Amino acid sequence: MHRSSSPAAERAAPALKTYASVGIIPARLEATRLPEKPLLDLCGAPLIVRVLERVRTCAALRSVHVATDSDRIAAVVRAAGGTVILTRADHVSGLDRVAEAAATITADVIVNVQGDEPFVSAEGLERLVDLFRDPAVRMGTLAAPFPSEEDPADPDRVKVVTDRLGRALYFSRAPIPDGHGATCPALLHVGAYAYRRATLLELAGLAPCPLELAERLEQLRALWYGIPIQVAVGPFGSFGVDTPEDLSRARRLWLERRYHR
């Protein structure tokens, strides 16, 4: 039976439409430390499929897509029921690949989850999207207190420090701030970002900056060009699979159902 909407609901509809959020997972085969990483098995499914499954559990996302230049990655994603956006092969960073995909999508907020984060928190992604209820927020990311099992000196674990309003001051692979027993310890950065679509496309049109190239951290491009990054902090601990040791750890944690929330 057709049910007519109320005037209030009709007025609310455009606002809901413009706040639509879409997830994009960038993935490429080339990885120096872990070749063909997205296709490696994580307890019965390729790593990229595990990430896709995880991101799909976030109720705040209208849809989730994998952005890749690889036909092999595209095939395993489609076999798992996922959608693929094919991109160019010459992108400098995941940000640029996500921006090419986002240019084909109608959405206000684009959530970029790195393709090696199989334990990313769905609750964290919802918090990330929720940041954009503040019209001043142009870009956001996630962080967590350092878990006891993580080493802040590990260059594969990215650190972030924030100001008193929760905006990122700097990201680094090195321990920050310098010195032991700091009263404002760094947070563990989680590999997920969200942008207003216009901000993402603007960033992709800017040249990579010296800090981004030195640290190998794409988010430093935003800070370099004066785009603030709001950080949602919570129990969103995760880790990216960058090395063979990480993959072994991920398999163990998957079987133990660790990080499953």
CATH of the domain at 157: 3.90.550.10
- Judge whether 61 lies within some domain: yes
- Judge whether 4 lies within some domain: no
- Judge whether 3 lies within some domain: no
Enter the pTM of the model: 0.88
- Judge whether 50 lies within some domain: yes
| 197/22 Cα distance (integer angstroms) | 10
- H or E stretch at 75: helix 71-79
- Judge whether 1 lies within some domain: no
| 50/145 Cα distance (integer angstroms) | 24
- Judge whether 2 lies within some domain: no
- Judge whether 5 lies within some domain: no
* pLDDT cut 90: percent of the chain above it: 72
pLDDT at residue 132 in the model: 96
Range of the domain at 153: 10-256
Counting the structural domains of the chain, the total is 1
pLDDT digits (tens, 9 = 90+) for 54-100: 999 999 999 999 999 999 999 999 999 999 999 999 998 899 999 99
- Judge whether 125 lies within some domain: yes
Which of 26, 196, 207 has the alpha carbon at shortest distance from 101? Answer: 26
